[in-house]
């Protein structure tokens, strides 16, 4: 009896051991019924049947086992679901996986092209389901693998592209919804035509383009940078073209997903408490919409409007551009004349145009590339195909240049063909100055020149020791200022810097010192001889702002002193140059944090709430506590600068207006500002007051809380902008859902809800309903009961067009993806 018991338990243990050893595989003798699963050897992934969300359909899929049960990464029968739990997965004698329903009909199979004697199906710890010979684990010999047929998820180790020998095309397709894994409307797929690139499409319509691979990243994905989570590679040869990435640390979990609403998102798992963290989004802003600005147009998200024509080009349909319809693009101002010697104009820091109609050579240098393009009259532009190590390779474009955008960093150089007569006009101002510096001295006698130089130098040094009053400089008249302002007559005694000092401080305005570009012109970082760091705003010759704004900014801010206003240190007017010198803000602007997937993680809720309150205090000072009442008129995230301790400072007073003590509002025929932040009464009627700034502040608060831009905001459930989305959630009692995912763990729910409530009060349609900034500061600093907000102004995206028989504008509803807001000047 004892021997029988020992034998029984031994056989039982052996059976258990065999079962556990084969837990990740299926053989011909096994099958998986609904309710049964197999798990990868390391326990990372599980395969079995599931029902997504509230759906009752059953699907065969793979999901994360250890970290996030329910996060599905692959579905076999996504378009042919089972309607009951009768499904069975088997491996037939040829090595083909078959999924059978209760009628024993095959509803899905792996369709292996080859067969082996002893096939097994195995779920690997990468999440890859493979069919192979039982005694051969070499990936090159797999009969079939799920990695070749991805759904909406791209995992480390996958090849995302096309095999040019077999024709296998691996690409992403979205789910229809979070509860329906069937093939959705969006695909992201490699296009091998011309110089290969990825296209994101809704049906057959392109919505986003990655741009071609430039050796470091895709040209249209500047946020794709070396990081501590994964390495990435692009392979282009005679056999295959694909993109892939590998984990640096196997303990880190990451995945890329094409969401049901068509957004490519990169997630990293943090822990069970915090869940999945959104690490990277391919589409950053409205300029990533494919061909937004049409042919020969260029998109710059820092400009308003964002679209502009390339130099030497003009809008093809000017009337359409006036109502923000840029799809018609631009046309050449001067036709090319190939026989008369065309040339090329360099565009630095851009996303390369659509390369479907391009030619490339990986061995040419840039000079050879230029000559190749120059000899072909149909060639419209050229660039390096690889920007590493100074650049190599060649890409040539034929036909229109489409989908160009400008970047502050990680763009590349593009050379656009121009008529010879156009090139001289766009010769850089630096080159012209260099010619003057070289030519003028040659014509002067040596001794006389030396004497004059010494005299001028001495006089100049003496003059610079004095403070130069701004009122002594003639800079034009602002037609908006129809009242006499006594403060403008005062000598402001603001330091006047000479050009040479600023040029030396900024290393002659080098690109490496450039901080960004605004409507005024470029901004440079500099360091004075004493070691003080400065920021220099340099008025560019083609700036949309001019002398009036330059003078206005100095007059408005020269004597303002508040911890939440940027400090103006001085100005420079010399050699036709006009520059403003500010204190340097090491953390740049607020928008570089809240709208950046990576940087936003550095801005937790306490910091964001501190910033909101700081901006409120700065506005309160402008509206109530400064010598004059100042209306900013262009309050937005990019005009909020952050110092070393992340204290906010309001900047850019070029559009500001000062009021006398008894003034409360004014009217203008020149509406200035930024779409998405302008109040309705200002945008439509040109009427502005302190309540216009309050509206902009409310938009800014909702953006800080949500991490989303009001302009261009999209939600799959509606066509409202961010204000409308916040209003909708508020009315449903779900305001907390507006919170940016990156701050959900650090947020104080009461403070967040209070901030959203205040933001909605500030963006109400009627200016009279909006609180003053003194009330806003009080509401943010205490837990008092708040009034109920009314419907926001401009909570749906609108288009304003000019009526043919009316002097006023009329509204025409449109999708939030169409445009934001364009306005006619009030009459």
Query: Which whole number is the average pLDDT over 567-583?
Result: 85
Domains, the chain, with CATH or none? 23-149 (2.90.10.10), 151-284 (2.90.10), 287-426 (no CATH), 435-459 (no CATH), 467-584 (3.30.200.20), 588-827 (1.10.510.10)
User: pLDDT tens digits, residue range 52-84?
Assistant: 988 999 999 999 998 877 899 999 999 999 999
Q: Decide: helix, strand or coil at residue 505.
A: helix
Nearest to 549, CA basis, from 583, 526, 580, 517: 580
Are the C-beta atoms of residues 485 and 551 closer than 8 Å to each other?
no
Cα 268 from Cα 543, distance rounded (Å): 42
**Least confident interval from 81-95, 174-188, 459-473, 510-524:** 459-473
Look at residue 552 in the predicted model and tell me its pLDDT: 65
Cα 464 from Cα 441, distance rounded (Å): 24
Nearest to 572, CA basis, from 514, 526, 630: 526
**pLDDT cut 90: percent of the chain above it:** 50
Tell whether the model's pLDDT for residue 440 goes beyond 90: no
Nearest to 559, CA basis, from 470, 462, 692: 470
Any idea what DSSP says for residue 737?
G
Its pTM stands at: 0.55
Q: Decide: helix, strand or coil at residue 338.
A: helix
Query: Which whole number is the average pLDDT over 716-738?
Result: 89
Look at residue 806 in the predicted model and tell me its pLDDT: 33
Query: Which whole number is the average pLDDT over 477-489?
Result: 36
pLDDT class of 688 with cuts at 50, 70, 90: confident
Are the C-beta atoms of residues 711 and 286 closer than 8 Å to each other?
yes
Q: Which long-range contacts (CB under 8 A, 24 or more apart) does 305-314 make?
A: 305/675, 305/822, 310/347, 310/401, 310/404, 310/416, 311/345, 311/418, 311/422, 311/426, 312/345, 312/418, 312/419, 312/422, 312/425, 312/426
Q: Decide: helix, strand or coil at residue 599.
A: helix
Question: Which position has the higher pLDDT, 9 or 239?
Answer: 239
Cα 186 from Cα 450, distance rounded (Å): 71
Q: Decide: helix, strand or coil at residue 683.
A: helix
Q: Are strands 297-299 and 404-406 parallel, antiparallel or unpaired?
A: parallel
Catalytic residue set: 634
Question: Which position has the higher pLDDT, 291 or 278?
Answer: 291
Cα 469 from Cα 494, distance rounded (Å): 6
Look at residue 527 in the predicted model and tell me its pLDDT: 92
Question: Which position has the higher pLDDT, 546 or 58?
Answer: 58
pLDDT class of 718 with cuts at 50, 70, 90: confident
Structural tokens at position 550: 């330059």
User: pLDDT tens digits, residue range 761-816?
Assistant: 999 999 999 999 988 998 898 777 788 999 998 766 443 323 333 333 333 333 33
Look at residue 462 in the predicted model and tell me its pLDDT: 53
pLDDT class of 120 with cuts at 50, 70, 90: very high
Tell whether the model's pLDDT for residue 422 goes beyond 90: no
Are the C-beta atoms of residues 228 and 204 closer than 8 Å to each other?
no
| C-alpha distances in Å from residue 117, one per residue of 22, 110, 130, 144, 336 | 19, 17, 16, 15, 67
Look at residue 470 in the predicted model and tell me its pLDDT: 41
Look at residue 427 in the predicted model and tell me its pLDDT: 56
Look at residue 451 in the predicted model and tell me its pLDDT: 61
CA dihedral 772, 777, 783, 786 (to 10 degrees): 20
| C-alpha distances in Å from residue 529, one per residue of 460, 521, 534, 644, 679 | 18, 24, 11, 21, 44
Output the average pLDDT for the chain: 82
Look at residue 401 in the predicted model and tell me its pLDDT: 97
Tell whether the model's pLDDT for residue 730 goes beyond 70: yes
Cα 46 from Cα 409, distance rounded (Å): 41
User: pLDDT tens digits, residue range 319-358?
Assistant: 888 878 899 999 999 888 887 778 999 999 999 999 999 9
Residue 555 phi/psi, 5° resolution? Answer: -65, -40
Convert 2-30 to b/e letters by CB count within 10 Å (16 or more is b): eeeeeeeeeeeeeeeeeeeeeebbbebee
Cα 311 from Cα 232, distance rounded (Å): 35
Look at residue 39 in the predicted model and tell me its pLDDT: 96
Look at residue 781 in the predicted model and tell me its pLDDT: 83
């Amino acid at each position: 009896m004892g021997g029988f018991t020992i034998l029984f338990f031994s056989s039982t243990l052996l059976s258990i051991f065999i079962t556990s050893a084969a837990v990740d595989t299926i053989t011909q003798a096994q099958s998986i019924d609904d309710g049964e699963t197999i798990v990868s050897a390391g326990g990372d992934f599980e395969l079995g049947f599931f029902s997504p969300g509230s759906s009752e359909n059953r699907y065969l899929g793979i999901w994360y086992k250890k970290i996030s049960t329910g996060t599905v990464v692959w579905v076999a029968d996504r378009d042919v679901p089972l309607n009951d739990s009768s499904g069975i997965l088997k491996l037939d004698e040829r090595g083909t996986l078959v999924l059978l329903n209760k009628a024993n009909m095959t509803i899905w199979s792996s369709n292996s092209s080859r067969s082996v004697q002893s096939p097994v199906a195995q779920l690997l710890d990468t999440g890859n389901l493979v069919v192979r010979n039982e005694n051969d684990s070499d990936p090159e010999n797999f009969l079939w693998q799920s990695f070749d047929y991805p759904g909406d998820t791209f995992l480390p180790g996958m090849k995302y592209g096309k095999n040019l020998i077999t024709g296998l095309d691996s690409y992403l397709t979205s789910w229809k919804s979070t509860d329906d894994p069937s093939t959705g409307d969006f695909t992201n797929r490699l296009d091998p035509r011309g110089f290969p690139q990825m296209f994101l499409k809704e049906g057959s319509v392109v919505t986003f383009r990655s741009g071609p691979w430039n050796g470091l990243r895709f040209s249209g994905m500047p946020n794709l940078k070396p990081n501590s989570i994964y390495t990435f590679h692009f392979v282009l040869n005679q056999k295959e073209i694909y993109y892939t990435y590998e984990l640096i640390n196997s303990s880190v979990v990451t995945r890329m997903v094409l969401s049901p609403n068509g957004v490519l998102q990169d997630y990293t798992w943090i822990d069970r408490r915090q869940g999945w963290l959104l690490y990277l989004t391919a589409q950053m802003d409205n300029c990533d919409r494919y061909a937004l600005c049409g042919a020969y147009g260029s998109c710059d998200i820092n400009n308003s409007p964002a679209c502009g024509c390339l130099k030497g080009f003009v809008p093809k349909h000017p009337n359409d551009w006036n109502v923000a319809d840029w799809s018609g693009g631009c046309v050449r101002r001067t036709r090319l004349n190939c026989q008369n010697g065309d040339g090329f104009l360099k565009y630095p820091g851009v996303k390369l145009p659509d390369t479907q109609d391009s030619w490339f050579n990986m061995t040419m240098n840039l000079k050879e590339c230029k000559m190749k393009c120059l000899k072909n009259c149909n060639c419209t532009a050229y660039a390096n195909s690889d920007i590493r190590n100074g650049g190599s390779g060649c890409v040539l474009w034929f036909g229109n240049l489409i989908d160009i955008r400008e970047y502050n960093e990680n763009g590349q150089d593009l050379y656009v063909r121009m008529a010879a007569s156009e090139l001289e006009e766009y010769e850089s101002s630096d080159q012209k100055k260099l010619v003057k510096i070289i030519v003028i001295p040659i014509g002067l006698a040596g001794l006389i020149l030396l004497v004059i130089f010494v005299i001028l130098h001495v006089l100049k040094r003496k003059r610079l020791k004095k403070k130069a009053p701004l009122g002594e400089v003639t800079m034009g008249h602002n037609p908006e200022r129809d009242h006499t302002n006594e403060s403008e007559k005062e000598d402001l005694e603001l330091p006047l810097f000479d050009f040479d000092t600023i040029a030396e401080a900024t290393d002659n305005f080098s690109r490496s010192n450039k901080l960004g570009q605004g409507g005024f012109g470029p901004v440079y970082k500099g360091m004075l001889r004493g070691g003080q760091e400065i920021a220099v705003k340099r008025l560019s010759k083609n700036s949309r702002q001019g002398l009036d704004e330059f003078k206005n900014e100095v007059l408005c801010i020269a004597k303002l002193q508040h911890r939440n206003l940027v400090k103006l240190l001085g100005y420079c007017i010399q050699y036709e140059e006009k520059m403003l010198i500010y204190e340097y803000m090491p953390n740049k602007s607020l928008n570089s944090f809240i709208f950046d997937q990576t940087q936003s993680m550095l801005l937790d809720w306490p910091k964001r709430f501190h910033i909101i309150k700081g901006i409120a205090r700065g506005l309160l000072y402008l509206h109530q506590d400064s010598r004059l009442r100042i209306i900013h008129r262009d309050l937005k995230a990019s005009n909020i600068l952050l110092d070393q301790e992340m204290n906010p400072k309001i900047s850019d007073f070029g559009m500001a207006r000062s009021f006398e003590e008894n003034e409360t509002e004014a009217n203008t025929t020149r509406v200035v500002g930024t779409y998405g932040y302008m109040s309705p009464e200002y945008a439509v009627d040109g009427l502005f007051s302190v309540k216009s700034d309050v509206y902009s502040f409310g938009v800014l608060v909702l953006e800080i809380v949500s991490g989303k831009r009001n302009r261009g905001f999209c939600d799959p459930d509606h066509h409202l902008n961010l204000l409308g989305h916040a209003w909708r959630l508020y009315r449903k009692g779900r305001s907390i859902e507006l919170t940016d995912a990156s701050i959900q763990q650090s947020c104080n729910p009461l403070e967040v809800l209070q901030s959203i409530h205040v933001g909605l009060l500030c963006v109400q349609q009627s200016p009279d309903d909006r609180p003053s900034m003194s009330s806003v500061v009080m509401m943010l600093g205490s837990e008092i009961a708040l009034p109920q907000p009314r419907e926001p102004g401009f909570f749906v995206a609108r288009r304003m067009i000019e009526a043919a028989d009316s002097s006023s504008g009329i509204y025409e509803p449109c999708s939030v993806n169409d445009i934001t807001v364009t306005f006619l000047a009030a009459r």
